[in-house]
Chains A and B, each alone.
Chain A
Amino acid sequence: MSHEFLYALLGVGLFTLGLYALIVHAHLLRKILAINVMGSGVFLVLVALGGRTPGAPPDPVPHAMVITGIVVAISATALALALMLWVHAKTGRARLPEERLE
């Protein structure tokens, strides 16, 4: 098994771990962190699969995508944190209320 593939699997593992944490944890900060872990997983997959041909220099396009992705992730995290603080200021809790079952 090539180690690029191993890294890609690790990325998928991080994605799954993040997804699990996003669903299980109620606190918004944990949810935001979980989303970030998922994002890092995706970026790891992108970078790892950039080394597709053994011996050749890695493909630069996925790296450019990851940089763009990081910019997006930072903005999203900033917005999420600001919203979390605002929710906390209004409701006194940094978590979403239980959903009404319909």
Chain B
Amino acid sequence: MGASLANTPWGVLVILLPLAGALVCFLWPRRSVPLGLVTALGVVACVAGLGWQVAEQGVQRYAVGGWGAPLGIDLYADGLSLLMLMMTALVGLGISVYSSGYFDRKTATVFWSLWLFLWAALNALFLSADIFNLYVTLELMGLAAVALVALAGGADALIAAMRYLLVSLLGSLFYLLGVALLYHSVGSVDIAILAQQVEPLPAVWAAVGLMSAGLLLKTALFPLHFWLPPAHASAPAPVSALLSALVVKASFYILLRLWLEIFSPGDAAVGQLLGLLGASAVLWGGIQALRQTRLKLLIAYSTVAQLGYLFLAFPLGTSVAWKGALYLLFSHALAKAAMFMSAGNILRCCGHDRIADLDRVARRLPLTLTAFTLAGISSMGLPPSGGFTGKWMLLDAALYSGQWWWALTLILGGLLAAAYVFKVVGYAFTPAEVTHEVSRVPARMEWTALVLALAAVLLGLFTPWPLALLDIGLPFGGGYAG
């Protein structure tokens, strides 16, 4: 039994299961909710299986269909892939439970197949071992995400979805042109082969520029973030949660893989530029979030700010900085999903999300408000949350390398986050002038938000384990360690 479990290709199942689930949900729409929930549980179990396999046996590589690289498609799982898969599984399970209470019957039939397609694409992306397969999964993810935004159906949501689609396709095409140039110069698309054979030719530099530009657009790094707030704010709440928590992280993951493994960023200027853009994103996103009058837009701008932190690791470039950024990424995924779910609950209860008109939400939705506040604590980076651990590691790396100005950004960003979180919490306690009808929010929607927010806070207490995970087969210890 143990041997057969150890030999099961969990990495392949992690992709096939949600894909099959999506098709079944599509073909059998009347049963989509239970089918979707069962699939979600199955995917979580497969990710756990893969995690156990990677922890026991080290890095996993599967040659799909028996055709190995360079001709066939390889799947590759190391600590970094595993961390991303686990984050997706955790948030994905939360979103699945939340959605089973959120959508009406008609929307649910469409939602489940799209969401499971998106999940399959995300898992495939995190397991891809070649840059062309990354392109395909990126597109699959983008198309499913756009369709999910459009699910809300209003004019705002459709316009946001359309803009999101154009931006997403534009980013992918830049990336694909980069892939073409890189393939031309090296003659392979496999990341491991590229890492060994890449040379600093003009064509390679052009490829670096094109691929990075495309991915930065998709990751919504300041000043390329213009499409994110409308798209994330106008989508249905569970969709906003998965876009902000997972989808933007996928393109960041590709960027990280490329820079760490293929283009060893010996060029300090590029790192400093990315860091500067990241710092601007932290400040601009924070200020914009503070200025918003709608709760969902506030949370969306907070995503812009939080994405900025991730780029602070590029100028620092040490192993500690990378791990700190990934820790922030993980805790942001949990916290942001919880925040958007809370916003969804408030929207369901009050019928609007105007911050100034929030009427005694603290008494009506105590669990939701607790979830929002806990998630806020992680976004501010207060101990013991996961956000604190991540920021602490970045701070440590910044001071260690003598680049104190990044530390200043971290502190200012935290203060801005505190300001916008307390702005919401303050209005939630007081009665508003305009009173309105309130509707009931299903208990599972409140509890899911709370559980995810708690997970984000508790993540700070279990630091050693995820960090040890990142060391499995990974590039952080390699030529780029500081």
Contact = CB atoms under 8 A, between A and B. Distances in A.
Nearest to A39: B173
Interface string A59-102: 10110010011001001100110011011001100001101001
A79 B147 contact: yes
A40 B153 CA distance: 31
A62 B161 CA distance: 31
Contacts of A59: 187
Contact of B132 (A15, A65, A76): A65
A10 interface: no
Interface in B104-156: 132, 135-136, 139, 143, 146-147, 150, 154-155
Contact of B150 (A45, A49, A72, A83): A83
B158 A90 contact: yes
B159 A87 contact: yes
A99 to B, nearest CB: 7
Contacts of B181: 45, 49
Contacts of A38: 170, 173
B139 A49 contact: no
Nearest to B161: A83
Interface in B169-208: 169-170, 173, 176-177, 179-181, 183-184, 187, 189
Q: Is the interface of B mostly helix, strand, loop or mixed?
A: helix
Contacts, number: 85
A76 B164 CA distance: 12
Interface residues on A, range: 35 or more
Interface string A22-51: 100000100100010011011001100100
A95 to B, nearest CB: 10
Contacts of B162: 28, 80, 83-84, 87, 96
B168 to A, nearest CB: 9
A68 B165 contact: no
Nearest to B291: A102
Given A84-B162, A87-B158, 20 more contacts: A12-B177, A19-B170, A22-B170, A35-B170, A42-B173, A46-B180, A61-B71, A62-B180, A65-B189, A68-B132, A69-B135, A75-B143, A79-B143, A79-B165, A80-B165, A83-B158, A83-B162, A86-B158, A90-B155, A96-B159
Interface of B: 71, 132, 135-136, 139, 143, 146-147, 150, 154-155, 158-159, 161-163, 165-166, 169-170, 173, 176-177, 179-181, 183-184, 187, 189, 226, 288
20 contacts: A15-B173, A22-B166, A22-B170, A35-B169, A35-B173, A42-B177, A46-B180, A46-B183, A52-B187, A59-B187, A61-B183, A65-B132, A65-B183, A76-B139, A76-B165, A76-B169, A79-B143, A96-B162, A96-B163, A99-B226
